[in-house]
Amino acid sequence: MDNSSKTQHNVLTMSEHQNTNSYAPLSLVEAYWDALRAGREMPKRAEIDPRGIESALEYAFILERVAPGVARMRIAGTHLHDIMGMEARGMPITAFFEHDCRTRVAGLLEEVFQTPGTADLLLHSSGSLGQPELEARMILLPLKSDLGDVSRILGCLVSNGELGAVPRRFDLRSVNLRRLSGLPALVHKKKPARQEFAETMTPFAPKTAEPAPVQTKTTSTKKRPAYLRLVKNDD
């Protein structure tokens, strides 16, 4: 994490919030974010102090919204570098996901930014040669920029299991989106890729061709003039 605004009032003790399971860093980061809110909708990016989540830094990251559905990593912990097998900073968050669910992730990012809300993602990476099956969780917590717009996200990604050969990419198992306005949470279950974020289509029904008008022959009652006459000659 960077060294922006390392003020003492942003250094909070979060040890009592840690769980004993492998996903403890998620709880630590979320508890720190929630404590910084102090009754507000969300904290500002400038309030984030790395010392407040020191034991979770390797799993933490900060995203910046650069376009609708596109957010790049401004800061990324070492665990994210390990998952990708390279420097993760500067990458879009969708690089951590399989191609067939990146559109869904892009839509989810917009829900976090625009709603605004927090998201808890359950992830899965299928096993293959040199890559054991892998489970992971990710949280996305919105932040305000110095200009007051919601264009930053404090996040945390923790995988549970051996990474094996990298890079590793994930599919979405489920998403729990909690609106900060207090409205009910939105839970998204995994759907087939081609159905995700697709508009409901009206079944196609071929248009029945209208019957052609029946043309009836009209016979004229007016007699035609005789062009030939039979002339009888008795001579």
Which tens digit of pLDDT belongs to each residue from 218-235? 444 455 544 445 455 554
Instruction: Give the C-alpha separation, 143 to 149, whole Å.
Output: 8
Measured in whole angstroms, the distance separating CA 81 from the mean position of its chain's CA atoms is: 22
Total tally of structural domains belonging to the chain: 1
- Residues of the chain scoring pLDDT < 70: 1-20, 182-235
pTM of the shown model:
0.71
Cβ distance 46 to 151 under 8 Å? no
Q: Is residue 208 part of a domain?
A: no
- Predicted confidence at residue 209, as pLDDT, reads 53
Q: Residue 99 maps to which CATH number?
A: 3.30.450.20
- Predicted confidence at residue 22, as pLDDT, reads 85
- Predicted confidence at residue 181, as pLDDT, reads 76
- Predicted confidence at residue 140, as pLDDT, reads 98
DSSP state letter for 82: H
Cβ distance 121 to 138 under 8 Å? yes
pLDDT tens per residue, range 31-65: 999 999 999 999 999 999 999 999 999 999 999 99
Q: Which domain holds residue 101?
A: 58-195
Q: Is residue 36 part of a domain?
A: no
- Predicted confidence at residue 198, as pLDDT, reads 37
